[in-house]
Amino acid sequence: MEALRKQVSDVAGEGDEVVANENKKIKLSSEVEVKRTSVSVHENISSFENFHLTKILNQNSSTKSIFVEGRFGNDIRPAVILLEKTSFVDEAIKKMLCKDMTVKQQFHNDIYGSYEGFPSAEFNGVKTTIIHPATEKHIQKYSSHPAYLVQETPEVYKNVIEPHIQSQQFSMQWVYNILDHKSEADRIVFEDKDPILGFILLPDLKWDMKHIDNLYLVAICHRKDLHSLRDLTADHLQLLKSISEKGKQNIAKKFNIPEKQLRVYVHYQPSYYHFHVHFTALSFDAPGSHVERAHLLDMVIQNIQMVPDYYQKATLVYAMRENDPLYTKLQEANVL
Give the pLDDT confidence score for residue 155 in this predicted structure: 96
Give the pLDDT confidence score for residue 9 in this predicted structure: 44
Q: Domains for the chain: give ranges and CATH numbers.
A: 1-86+127-138 (no CATH), 87-124 (no CATH), 145-332 (3.30.428.10)
Residue 133: cis peptide before it, omega within 30 degrees of 0: yes
Active site positions, annotated: 276
Give the pLDDT confidence score for residue 170 in this predicted structure: 63
Higher pLDDT, 127 or 277: 277
Range picked from 57-61, 202-206, 295-299 for highest mean pLDDT: 295-299
- pLDDT band at residue 90 using 50, 70 and 90 as cut-offs: confident
Contact at 8 Å (CB) between 247 and 277? yes
pLDDT for residue 169 is more than 70: no
Q: What is the pLDDT averaged over residues 48-56?
A: 94
- pLDDT band at residue 289 using 50, 70 and 90 as cut-offs: very high
Instruction: Share the mean pLDDT of the chain.
Output: 86
Higher pLDDT, 93 or 3: 93
For 195-245, the DSSP string reads: TTT-EEEEE-TT--SS-GGG-EEEEEES-SS--SGGG--GGGHHHHHHHHH
pLDDT for residue 332 is more than 50: yes
Give the pLDDT confidence score for residue 18 in this predicted structure: 36
- pLDDT band at residue 172 using 50, 70 and 90 as cut-offs: confident
List, in sequence order, every residue forming a beta bridge with 204; answer none if it has no partner: none
Tally of CA atoms within 13 A in the half-sphere of 194 that contains its CB? 8
pTM of the predicted structure, to 2 decimals: 0.65
Residue 283 burial by Cβ neighbours in a 10 Å radius (0-12, 13-18, 19+): middle
